[in-house]
Amino acid sequence: MIYNSFTKSMPKFLQNYCNFVAIMNREILRIAIPNIISNVTVPLMGIASTFIAGRACGGEGTLAIGALSIGVTIFNFIYWNCSFIRMGTSGLTAQAFGAENHREYSLMLWRSLIVALGVGILAFSLQYPIGEFSLWFMDTGSEESQSMIADYFYTRIWAVPAGILLFAFNGWFTGMQNAVVPMAVAILVNLIHIGCSYLFSIVGTMGLEGIALASVVAQWTGVLVMVAVLLIRYRKRLVKVSMKEVMDMSSMRRFFSINGDIIIRTFCLVAVYTFFTKASADTGDANILAVNTILLQLFTLFSYMNDGFAYAAEALTGRFIGARDSQSLRRCIKLCLVWCFAVSFVFIGVYVGWWRDIFTFIANPEQGDSAVLLSVAEHYIGWIIAIPLAAAMPFVMDGIMVGATRSRIMRNSMIWSSVCFFVILYGLGWLIGNNALWLAFTMYMFLRGVFQYFMSDRLHDIYRQAEQ
């Protein structure tokens, strides 16, 4: 009511402009908020898992937190290298949705599920070489820690096919402008994971193996729910297609061409995060490893918040390109960038005011070493406060490129920013130690957005795509 009274006093052109902005903001928030809610549950699940690991392993809490971090990193390497399925599916489905091409988005559903199932089965069948190489590569030097990591890996590997299938479902639903279903399923999966982790690890005294088993139960439950929702809500909207159409070589080549670039981009992303954990472990200091793990979770909480607007950007960018609506595309991109910077400033305030409370909660104040971890963290918390501003731009830029299917720009920008990460890490590591790791990570995040902006001719290439 206040808004309507305010706008009525404006000139007509300003009224139209404000109404246009309000409508676009509603569209952005309609997709972003459910994705933010579902995304936030992921780092919260990580925090909960760390919390449970610290308590389930008694006096070995610090060792267990470090082992869990390495185990999760291994699976991040698997999952993130398979995220091309979600990203490729989302952009192509969104463009088909914007063009009102019912057959094409029906075909995209089947293509993504077939590829996801094939990749999931392949990853599961290669569990032994993947597991043994990972254990060798991420060697902590502690037999007890290595044993924890191995138990975690060979249990959680059973969840991998389900996790990759969820990528396909999430990408398709996002492309269809539906963020509510992925949100609801994500919340359900993560609640099941937390509940089962507590039940298996603490009540059942299974330790890290119990947390891994909880992931298996949760993710397969998520797949069953996705199938049920698809059959109930979308059966009438999907067009009947033949397997010949699904496997059409020209369409599959485009799908894999886009996804090939995304695979390289994701490999670089995973390499950075993997070497972040490896560099932490290579210090030989369990406190540094535990502190970096917890601080990275604080950053991850921010990243998943901003990723919600990245999801909105990719869904709406694809939709407006498919509909050939360049005016709406321009407004959408600008507003998504504004929202991401706003979120960044909020998180800077939260970290400045309450980082000690958050850190202490995760580190388990009941353990005697929590005070030691807090004192170590004080040397590096400045990086966590600075990163939200440095990382505001790349999330939205990723979403724009996914929606526009400009995968080559994503690939090239990631390659160059990753090179900068390793140059800084190994060029300054001998001089400033763990600070070099955080400096490298901060610059890596910042440069991703900058490179994408200029590689797309300051986004003009994307705007022209909606005008063709």
Burial class (CB in 10 A: 0-12, 13-18, 19+), 384: buried
| 114: phi then psi, degrees, rounded to nearest 5 | -65, -45
Which one is predicted more confidently, 216 or 45?
Answer: 216
- Provide the 3-class DSSP secondary structure of residue 228: helix
> What pLDDT is recorded for position 254?
84
Q: Please compute the mean of the pLDDT values over residues 127-153 and round it to a whole number.
A: 85
Q: How much of the chain exceeds pLDDT 90, in percent?
A: 54
Q: How confident is the model at residue 2 (pLDDT cuts 50, 70, 90)?
A: very low
- Per-residue pLDDT of 107-125, as tens digits, reads 999 999 999 999 999 999 9
- The model's confidence at residue 430, banded by pLDDT at 50, 70 and 90, is confident
Give the start-to-end residue ranges of the domains of the chain. 17-465
When pLDDT is averaged across residues 128-155 and rounded to a whole number, the result is 85
Question: Quick one: pLDDT at residue 54?
Answer: 73
DSSP reduced 3-state for 142: coil
Which is more confident, 271 or 125?
125
Is the backbone of residue 10 left (phi > 0), alpha (psi -120 to 50) or beta? beta
6-11 long-range CB contacts below 8 Å, 24 or more apart?
A: none
Taking Cα atoms as reference points, which of 111, 107, 97, 119 lies closest to residue 321? 97
Lowest pLDDT segment from 166-170, 203-207, 297-301, 418-422: 203-207
CB 429 within 8 A of CB 435: no
Q: Residue 142 has which token pair?
A: 């502690």
